[in-house]
Amino acid sequence: MTTTATTSATTRTKPAPASGTPPFGRALCAMITPFTPSGALDTAGAGRLADRLVSEGCDGLVLSGTTGESPTTTDAEKAALVRAVREAVGNRASIVAGVGTSDTRHTVELARQAEKAGADGVLVVTPYYSRPPQDAVEAHFLEVADASGLPVMLYDIPGRTGTRVEPDTLLRLAEHPRVVAVKDCSYDFLGAQRVLARTDLAYYAGCDEHNLALYAVGGAGYVSTVANAVPHRLRAVLDAFDAGDTARAARLQQQATGLIARMMSADLPGAVTAKGLLNTLGLPAGPVRAPLRPADRETTDGLLAEYEHLTAP
């Protein structure tokens, strides 16, 4: 990208969501990346799955995140996935492309690639393994935000990266015109509320058990792994809350707890459990890539039982 283009992007003002609408929607799915039986990227399956998710209540799709097995997909596959999903859903949903890596230079390249492929925003995780200090974390995010014209969703998941994005760091990052959102997997509910109270960042629950709780204190919605299987049921929680029926919202959230626990607290990554359930349901998913291993029969039977219980008439 030329210096002129970069400077022009940097001077943009932060977009003001109309009528309080979150920048990427409310109900976002952290979509799995479908593979063929041989392990190749299944762009046709990705299109079918994306269409189903949007038709059943998702107004945003997050691609190539943790659940999307981003560490094991190539740069070319990431771009092809964005293009396939954009073709399938058109403008019916926002597309946020995961571009985070442990290398700032590589992350910048992926952000520019995502913009060219048609994404509406980028998801940028804290650099992992090297465990940079907070000033380096901040500099990393700012360099990525300056690299393209796309709005940025920061991804705070210290349990996987080894490094927290501290609330004070988030407060400073919120001043950047294209840092507009946070996917929060910090398990620091007080810290999230501190940032919510002092910025206009759109906070998305990244842990399904927090979907309603974070929304109730001003969060924007969720980026959900469980939505791969039950997008309509999770969307109904937000719809009930927005309609003022908080008791119904709480009841719907509680009803989903069994499936949430099975998918997210089974000592297995969400990509494994989500694909295990979707394969059982005959939906596009396919195998996981090594080093992940597929869910065993006992796990998939338990997932299916919870799914059937939740979706029973």
Determine which one of 116, 129, 183, 215 is catalytic. 183
Q: Which two tokens stand for residue 79?
A: 């771009």
Start-to-end CA distance of the chain, whole Å, equals 54
CB 277 within 8 A of CB 307: yes
Decide if 155 is catalytic. yes
Residues 6 or more apart in contact with residue 136 via CB below 8 angstroms: 127
Minimal CA–CA distance to 228: which of 52, 109, 110? 52
For residue 9 the two structure tokens come to 């992007």
Contact between 54 and 61 under an 8 Å Cβ cutoff? The reply is yes
The rounded distance, in Å, linking the Cα atoms of 158 and 296 is: 28
Q: If we measure between CA atoms, which residue out of 182, 186, 247 comes closest to residue 212?
A: 247
Q: Is the peptide bond before 17 cis (omega within 30 degrees of 0)?
A: no
**Residue 223 Cα distances to 120, 134, 311, angstroms:** 15, 24, 21
Please identify which of the residues 14, 128, 155, 203 carries the catalytic annotation.
155
As a whole number of angstroms, the distance between CA 196 and CA 103 comes to 29
| Dist. CA 238–CA 246, nearest whole Å | 9
- CA atoms within 13 Å, Cβ hemisphere of 166: 10
- Helices (DSSP H) in 90-165: which residue ranges? 104-117, 134-147, 158-161
d(CA 290, CA 69): 10
What residues are paired with 98 via a beta bridge? 123
Which residues are part of the catalytic machinery? 155, 183
